[in-house]
Structures are given as structure tokens and as C-alpha cells.
Structure 1
Amino acid sequence: MNDRIELRVFTEPQQGATYTDLLRVARCAESAGYGAFFRSDHYLKMGSVSGLPGPTDAWVTLGGIARETSTIRLGTLVTAGTFRLPGPLAITVAQVDEMSGGRVDLGLGTGWYAEEHAAYGVPFPPLAERFDRFEEQLEIITGLWGTPEGETFDYEGRHYQISDSPALPKPVQRPRPPLVLGGKGKKRTPELAARFADEFNLPFVDMETAAEQFERVDRAAVAAGRRAGDILRSAALVLCVGRDEPEVARRAAAIGREVPELRENGLAGTPGEIVDRIGQWRERTGVRRLYLQVLDLADLDHLELVASEVAPQLG
């Protein structure tokens, strides 16, 4: 088995980015050899940044980038279940999958950021209801994609009902695009991952927390009749790499963070330090994929540095 760690680029455009900014990063990531370009799905900035010029829609963005790239995979970390009805979301993702030639991953979650829902008039049910809806959304999306052409799909849930759907269009990828789930919940989250996930992602947690949750997911997968290890393990970590200490400090300052904090909670330091840190993550947690949260989208040299001096050492 190939034990090489795959590196993916992960952006947070609600903090302030245009479509053009994101396309530039995606093209850079593709030419540098990253495995994927992902973006968050948020409609409101976080923290003290201005957020200008304002949010961009995740799937509109990915549809555009799909037509202007050719090899890099594209996806969300993660689409908020509160933002879209499951039937139309299945159509949207299938369409972007066709537009990309089969390069889409769907990351899907319950939605969590109450303020963005209030800011744009999106209903925000209590957590238990969001999880109930999330389960039904997963059943519907996979059910629509998995219905053979020429047959119809019906679903009777508490929150969603579907009648006599032609279940079209189908994604290019068969049986469907990979599904990425994640989160720290100790019971329902692993159970849903065991039923639906191809990949389980943990963003911005420490190694011990990640290792414990990955084990819960594996146990739930075995209980559901799958094999331990069937669900790919991944993590998301903020990136701050420099050729030397002054460059590390400059990049930390550009995103409003402190170097010691980033070294503890993310991937910060020189290329050699990053290789060692990734090795620790792989040994302790079994991750096969890392999403590098890139917050300064104008600094393309940052991505190129990691591609040239970190990625080749991750065999």
C-alpha cells in the first residue's frame, strides 16, 4: 500500500476573497502538484477581518474553477446542510462533477455558525434537529445518486419527503463522488460516518483527540459491517511555513497569528520542521491526507515552497 501523505489546499474565502483570488490559488495548487483545492462553505466572515468584498458561494465557485482547471480535485470542507435542500444539492454536485470531468468530493456537515444564518436569513434549527436532517440528507443524496437510470426514487422522512423522483442527473463518478464527513461527536458522528463516509476529517484538533475519534469511527465501521481502515483518515491544519525564522514570523504576522501558537496547533516552521511534524501526525493518528489551511491567498510562494521542499519528503 502506498503510504505517502497527500497534501490538499484548503481556503477560507469568507475571510475576504473574490472568485478571481480563488481561481489563482487553485491554478497554482494544480501546477504545483497538490492533490486537491478545497474551500469552506460560509456566508459570513469570522474574527476581526473585514471580509471584503464579501462571501462567494461554494458551489458556484467550484463550478467555475472546474472549467478552468483540468486535473486537480475540487471540494468543500464542508458544505453546510442548512444551506441547501438535499435534492437540489445532489443536482448541483452532480453537475459540477460533470463540469470537472469527475473531480469532485462532497464534504457535508450539519452547519454550525449561527451568526451567518441570521445574517442571510437561513433557518438554524437546534443541534439535535440539524443532525436528524443531516442523516436524512445523506440518505437522500446517496439514494438519488444510487438509483439506476430509468428507475425512480422515493423517500419518506420526518423532515424531507421525495416522490417519484427521476433521480437525475447522475455524477460522472460511479457509484458517486467521495463523501467527506467529520466532527468530534462521540456517537452519532461515527455512526453516520460508518454508514456513508469515504473519508473522515478532523479540522484543527490535537493528535490525541484525532487518534481517539478515528478509532471511534473505525469501531463504528466494523459494527456496520465495513472493515477497519475502509474510511480514509484526514485532518486540516493551518499552514505557516518559511525558509527561515524571519519568513515564518512574517507569514504568521500576515494572518494575525503568533509563531509559538501555530507551532503547537498547526503546521508552522521551516520545511524540515513541517516534514517532522507531518511524520508525527501520520505515526500517531494514521492520517493519509492533510488539508493545509491557507489564509493569505495572495502568497502563492507559500504554496510553491511547500510543494517543492516539503511534499517530496513525504514518502
Structure 2
Amino acid sequence: MNFGLHIGQQNISMEELRRLWRWADTAGFDWVDFWDHFYEAPPVDGNGSCFEATTCMAAMACETSNVRVGVLVLGMGYRHPAVLANALCTIDHLSGGRLEIGLGAGWHEPEYRAYGIPFPPIKERLDMLEEGIQVVRLLTTRDRSDFAGRYYRLENSACNPKPIQPRPRIWVGGNGEKRTLRIAARHADGWNTPYTSPEEFARLSSVLDRWCETEGRDPGSIERTVNLSFHMAADAASLPRAEEQFRATWGPAADAMRSRGVVTGLPRQAVDLVGRYRDAGAARVNIAIRPPVDWDALHAWANEVIPAFAR
């Protein structure tokens, strides 16, 4: 199976960010992506620093050679999808054809409210997501496009140059069983779920299978991946520090998160956990990191966990 690095680019220097993606490019990962936030997540008070996602993608595209370049996931309400499509095509050229397009409905209401971006009810956000996916697909694959939706319109529109890839993959992120997974079955090349247990991953994947059957889609044509919050310790002496970082990250939600998609303990325990996701059908496990970066733990993951599955 494959491995990715999901970076929460908050409260971190650009120097450290660049060190992360340069390291991952040759450390056994095939994928590096960012999140799409303007404020810290989980929400605190909006005073933390957070670098913008598409700009980070462009920078990483220029400084890596191997990993796929993405975001899990771009909130549809933050940018008009036609404008976003132009940015994504540029990033694909900067990366030499390594772009991955992740799209979602958005959830971090404090960001919307603070910036005056409309935050409609979830049904409308999902409607916007489904329309926006179609707009991005049209503009990245067709010479000219027309689209008449409730939220977005295209009139003989062009987006040039086209990506290097003939059809960049689109990922839908989220766990909503009634709409999100059906949207994935209709439009996506990949589905990503954040912080779910192996059992829940398998259950949601089966829901996606059923939606694929409803939509006349081959379930095997949609790749499935999971993000795991990363709090592994490199060795026994580092366990207290890793536990402290886990609790600082998740605060009051830490105890509930422990039964979900979280990597804790030592590398041998991480190998067992990743094996459970593999058996549940995950094609890739992305470890999600928030600063401060535990470089000893990252090296242990690259040296002890990833090779266990390469064999």
C-alpha cells in the first residue's frame, strides 16, 4: 500500500514546511498534501498562523520531484471553482503533472464568518460542492465549457493551458453517507475519510460501494484513503511527550479521538494499525501532522512502518 503526509500548516515556519515536503519526497511517501484553513483547527481563537493552501501547493510543486501534490480538501465555498481550476492547472504544470484535486463542502464556520464568506446550511454547501466538482472537471479537461447550475455558470468558457495530465484525479473528502458518498460515487476518482477507525472505514467504504451500484459505477474505480492523526513515539522514552502532544492537539476531544483514526504508541503498534486499514480496503494511509513536528517519530515511521508494507 501507499503512504502520504497530510500537513496542517498552522503555527509553523515556512522553513520547517519546506523541510517537511523535501524530506517526504525521498522518504518513502508517494503523496503530500495540505489542509485548506485560514484559522487553526481544531478551532481555538483564530490567533494562530496558517499558510494558505494553494500557495503551499505551488511552492511544494517546485521543490519536489516524486510525491503527488494535493490538498485534502479544498473548501468549495472559499474560491469560485473556475478561478480554482485555473490555479490548479498552473500547479499541475509547476509539478510536472503530479496534481491531485481534493474538494469538499467546508465545515470551519469561524473562518467563513470572520471573512464574510457565506456559510449556508449543509445541504446547500453540498449542492455547491457537486456543482463545483463538475465545473472543475469541465475546465480541466475540455477546450470550451458550458454549465448552468444554481450556484455556478459557465458560458463558452476556457481554461488554458490545460493540465499536463489528461484528466487530473478528483478526490472527495468526508463521511456523509447520504450526500457526500453519493457525490463521490457520481464524480470522484478517489475518496478520503479523516480520522475514522478501521471498522468505520470499512463500513463507510461499503456505503460508497452501494452508492456506486446505484449510480452504475464500478466501485473498484474509486481509490479509498484515510487520514490518521499522528502521535506515534519513536521509542518508549518518547511516549510521554507524544501523549502530551496528542492531548494538546485535541483538547477535550482527545479521549473520544483515541477510538477513532489516531496513531499512538510505538512503531510496532503502528504497523498493526496500518495493517488493519489495509485489510479494510485502504489504498493509502496519510499521517496528519500538526506542529511541533516530532522528527524522531517521523523518521521512525519512514524507517520502520513504511518498509513493513513495502515487503
TM-score, normalised via structure 1 length? 0.90
Question: For 2:8 and 2:121, how far apart are their aligned partners in 1?
Answer: 25
Of 64, 67, 70 in structure 1, the residue corresponding to residue 62 of structure 2 is 67
Q: Deviations over 1:20-41 (max 9, x none)?
A: 2211110111121211111110
1:17-60 CA-to-partner distances (Å, cap 9, x unmatched) read 23322111101111212111111100111358687662211001
Q: Which residue of 2 aligns with 1:156?
A: 148
> Would you say 1:80 and 2:80 are equivalent positions?
no
Q: Distance in 2 between matches of 1:48 and 1:192?
A: 27
Deviation at 1:226, TM superposition (A): 2.2
CA distance in 1, matches of 2:294, 2:198: 28
1:31 is aligned to 26
Match of 2:276 in 1: 280
Point out the more displaced range, 125-134 or 91-100: 125-134
CA contact (8 A) 1:28 1:300 kept: no
Residue 302, structure 1, aligned to residue 294, structure 2: no
Percent of aligned pairs with the same residue? 32
Give the residue type in structure 1 aligned to 2:239: V
Contact 2:26/2:66, CA 8 A, preserved across alignment: no
Counterpart AA for 1:219: R
Instruction: Tell me the secondary structure at the aligned position of residue 25 of structure 2.
Output: helix
Which position in structure 1 is the counterpart of 2:181?
A: 190
Matched, 1:268 2:260: no
- Partner residue, 1:233: 224
Counterpart amino acid of 2:8? E
Q: Which residue of 1 aligns with 2:7?
A: 11
Paired residues of 1:218 and 1:231 also in contact (CA < 8 A): no
- Residue 172 of structure 2 aligns with an amino acid whose one-letter code is L
Say whether the 8 Å CA contact 1:21–1:297 is kept in structure 2. Answer: no
Give the Cα separation in 2 of the matches to 1:245 and 1:50.
34
Residue 207 of structure 1 corresponds to 198
After superposition, what is the alpha-carbon deviation per residue over 1:165-215, rounded to whole angstroms, capped at 9, x for unaligned?
Answer: 12323111112x211112221222122111211111110122232212111
Counterpart residue type for residue 162 of structure 2: K
Equivalence map 1:99-110=2 (5 Å): 99-110=94-105
Q: Could you tell me how far apart the structure 1 residues matched to 2:48 and 2:236 are?
A: 32
SS in 2 for 1:212: helix
* 1:224 equivalent in alignment to 2:219: no
SS at match of 2:38: coil
SS at the partner of 1:32? coil
Structure 1 SS opposite 2:100: strand
Structure 1 position 219, deviation (Å): 1.7
Counting only pairs closer than 5 Å after superposition, residues 97-136 of structure 1 correspond to structure 2 as 97-136=92-131
Count of matched residue positions in the alignment of Structure 1 and Structure 2? 305
| TM-aligned CA distance change 1:47 to 1:222, over 3 Å | closer
Deviation, structure 1 residue 262: 6.8
Q: Kindly provide the amino acid, as one letter, of the partner of residue 244 in structure 1.
A: D
Report if the CA contact (8 A) 1:62-1:74 is conserved: yes
In the TM superposition, what whole-angstrom CA distance separates every residue of 1:81-123 from its partner, at most 9, and x where no partner exists? 0110010111111100100001111110011111011122222
Runs (5+) with no aligned partner, structure 2: none
Give 2:162's aligned residue.
170
> Which one-letter code corresponds to 2:140 in the other structure?
W
AA partner of residue 13 (structure 1): Q
Unaligned runs of 5+ in 1: none
- Give runs of ≥4 in structure 1 deviating > 4 Å: 47-53, 257-263
1:121-151 deviations in Å (ceiling 9; x for gaps):
222122111111111101111111221x4xx
User: Structure 1 residue 309: deviation in Å?
Assistant: 0.8
Distance 2:50 2:234 in 1: 32
- The normalised TM-score by structure 2 is 0.91
User: Contact 1:240 / 1:262 at 8 angstroms: preserved in 2?
Assistant: no
- Provide the residue aligned with 1:243 in structure 2: 234
Give the whole-Å Cα distance in 1 for the aligned partners of 2:48 and 2:204: 37
CA distance in 1, matches of 2:206, 2:304: 32
Q: What is the aligned partner in structure 2 of residue 293 from structure 1? A: 288
Aligned AA for 1:159?
Y
Q: Report the Cα distance in structure 1 between the residues aligned to 2:90 and 2:266, rounded to whole angstroms.
A: 41
